[in-house]
Amino acid sequence: MITKLAITDDHEMVLQGIASMLENTAQIKVVATYKNAKETLDNLTKDNPDVLLLDINLPDINGIDLSKQLLKKYPDLKIIALTNFEDTSFVKRMLKNGVHGYLLKNTDKIEIAQALKTVLSGDVFLQKDIQKKLFNQQAKQKTNDNGLQPKLTRREHDVLVAISEELTTNQISEKLFISPKTVETHRMNIMSKLGAKNSVGIIKIAIEKELL
């Protein structure tokens, strides 16, 4: 049985490189390549792939949000993230959205074929390096805090969500009807509870601890 594969990536070299690499691979046919989220959304029904290799970093909609949209519309579609990002926070967010696999762009033909076979059989595929990183992180978290989640108040969580939306202190103040000083107090409390040093650290740790 032929596996129909589509690829979404905004780099032409990546699209052509993977398509060329798989050109003579038995049982795999590249049926479409897309350069952005819009092309993917506009053409997926027509091209009807079994599996989509999806870049996380797209120019119009990021792959994390796009995967959520696609899987809602096409529940039978298998999506494998294709990226240069090795950060486990990205892996967790993609998997949380229902993505079926995670491949780095340094992958080869054999690994892509293995990933396709794995996701089509109903399992999740993660490259060995990614598996190792996730395992090490989970082991480290268990050692550090015995699995305890930081406890945020409802208002602290509201501020955390607003920070993740990249709102400024004044914008958060207006959105939540609290003073800028109160926003900063909540921000400091969140940083203290999460052990973060800045807003970027807040988001990264919050994602890792599944608070977002």
Domain CATH code at residue 192: 1.10.10.10
Q: Are residues 78 and 17 in the same domain?
A: yes
pLDDT of 141 over the 90 cut: no
> What is the rounded distance in angstroms from the CA atom of residue 158 to the CA atom of residue 186?
10
Residue 203 pLDDT = 87
pLDDT reading at 87 higher than 90: no
Are 88 and 8 in the same domain?
Answer: yes
- 98, two tokens: 């229902």
**Structural domain of residue 159, as residue ranges?**
154-208
Q: How confident is the model at residue 148 (pLDDT cuts 50, 70, 90)?
A: low
Residue 136 falls inside a structural domain: no
Q: The tokens of 181 are what?
A: 């000083």
Spatial distance between the Cα atoms of 77 and 53, rounded to a whole number of angstroms: 11
User: Based on the domain organization, do 158 and 114 belong to the same domain?
Assistant: no
pLDDT value at residue 145: 53
The more confidently predicted of residues 149 and 198 is 198
Task: Output the pTM of the full model.
Answer: 0.65
Whether the per-residue pLDDT at 49 is higher than 90: the answer is: yes
Question: Would you say 103 and 112 are in contact if contact means Cβ atoms under 8 Å apart?
Answer: yes
Are both 27 and 124 inside the same structural domain? Answer: yes
| Domain at 26, CATH number | 3.40.50.2300
